[in-house]
Amino acid sequence: MAPGPSFLRYRCLARVGEARAGVFDTPHGEVPTPAFMPVATRASVKGLTPAQLEAIDPGVVLANAYHLHLRPGAARVAALGGLHGFTGLRRPWLTDSGGFQVYSLTDRVRVRDDHVELRSHLDGTPLRLGPRESMAIQAALGADLVMAFDHCVGLPAPRAEVAAAVERTTRWARICRRVAPRDDQALLGIVQGGTDPELRERSLADLLELELPGYALGGLAVGEAPAALWATVHAFAPRLPADRPRYLMGLGPPPDLLAGIAAGVDLFDCVLPTRLGRRGWLYTRDGVVRIAAREHAASDAPLDPECGCEVCRRCPRAWLRHLFQVGEHAAVTLGTLHNLTFTVALVREARARILDGSFAAWRAAFDARWQAGEAAWRRRHAEDPDGARRSREARVSPDG
């Protein structure tokens, strides 16, 4: 297979089983992998300032073409220097094509063979979005990595529906490649097919013929059973081209990230760390701290003494709980800052463990500790249903 654009050369530096540590180039810097990409849907990570996001130091930041097309408009972003100039965040960006909205806004979407017709979730304005429109929007936004427009369906779904989505995804990817992004952008294809091995095989084979600079596994974590999801990841992630970045779309829980890395994945994104952070569900190596729970009301302990973020260095659990209880805006910022720092640092540590050869043992120890912490929480709150209810009802925004 011919190499991708020179600026996206992927170089594998070490492997442990299928897990791999590497690096690839973009016009805005090298990206060490594996890496977690924070989701800045509207060109901002909810609750964080640019300086806070820079301090977390993610390799790539992800924005959404559909949302930025609606507001402020891709032309305005382009006039201000693309995402890099518009945000002042001059590091690698990736834009989602808008294809995920075919799934997430399904009640507002009508799928055609060459495009989708949808109504804006803001005001109902009719919109047309297809591979040509998506490529034009992403060219204007100026991201380093751009995604082919694909058809993602929720699962379970009739096999005929998934097969039709595979055919559209291939047809649309061919159009995306033909109309091509800018010379300073790399196009990544998305392998679809649900959890059907034959359909995944078909999608993979069709997309490999396009010789794209990178590939993603899409259409997962959309309603299928976990066992089926992981069977698909383990079967197909190692078969994505070894000399290109491999991207698993939409998975975010810490153990899932490590499982994806073990399967050979390089890039991840998910709204879960930030969404849970705003809700007061905070990651630690001993599982999730539901900060609204009564047990934290008088605790002067840090969230995670092994985490070096500002929240863990300075903020006792009792104060964090208070901020969430009274609805202080600072709670959203602190919860998001911690969860995102924890997630990016965890994936960075996984990379270091691949480089020194200890990844498998380190991952097993992390998973055991995480699961033990989650089991202990369930045991405690079986005896405190009111505390568990308050944890579930903590505030959370309905979008990413």
Please report, in tens digits, the pLDDT of each residue of the chain (400 residues total): 444 466 789 999 999 999 999 999 999 999 999 999 999 999 999 999 999 999 999 999 999 999 999 999 999 999 999 999 999 999 999 999 988 887 787 888 898 888 888 888 888 888 899 999 999 999 999 999 999 999 999 999 999 999 999 999 999 999 999 997 789 999 999 999 999 999 999 999 999 999 999 999 999 999 999 999 999 999 999 999 999 999 999 999 999 999 999 999 999 999 999 999 999 999 999 999 999 999 999 999 999 999 999 999 999 999 999 999 999 999 999 999 999 999 999 999 999 999 999 999 999 999 999 999 999 999 988 866 555 554 454 443 334 4
25 in catalytic set: no
Are 181 and 138 in contact by the 8 Å Cβ rule? The answer is yes
**Catalytic: which of 96, 144, 150, 196?**
96
Hey, how many other C-beta atoms are within 10 angstroms of the C-beta on 393? 10
Model confidence, pTM: 0.94
Query: How would you classify the pairing of strands 281-284 and 287-290?
Result: antiparallel
**Cα–Cα distance, 333 to 322 (Å, whole number):** 14
Sheet of strand 10-16: strand arrangement: 10-16, 19-26, 29-33
66 CB-near residues (< 8 Å, 6+ apart): 96, 98, 101, 129
Q: 């779904």: which residue's tokens? A: 157
Active-site residue, from 144, 150, 256, 269: 269
Instruction: Pick the closest to residue 173 from 151, 199, 158 (CA basis).
Output: 151
User: What domains sit in the chain, N to C, each tagged with a CATH number?
Assistant: 7-270 (3.20.20.105), 276-392 (no CATH)
As a whole number of angstroms, the distance between CA 101 and CA 59 comes to: 25
Q: Does 269 participate in catalysis according to the annotation? A: yes
DSSP, collapsed to helix, strand or coil, labels residue 5 as: coil
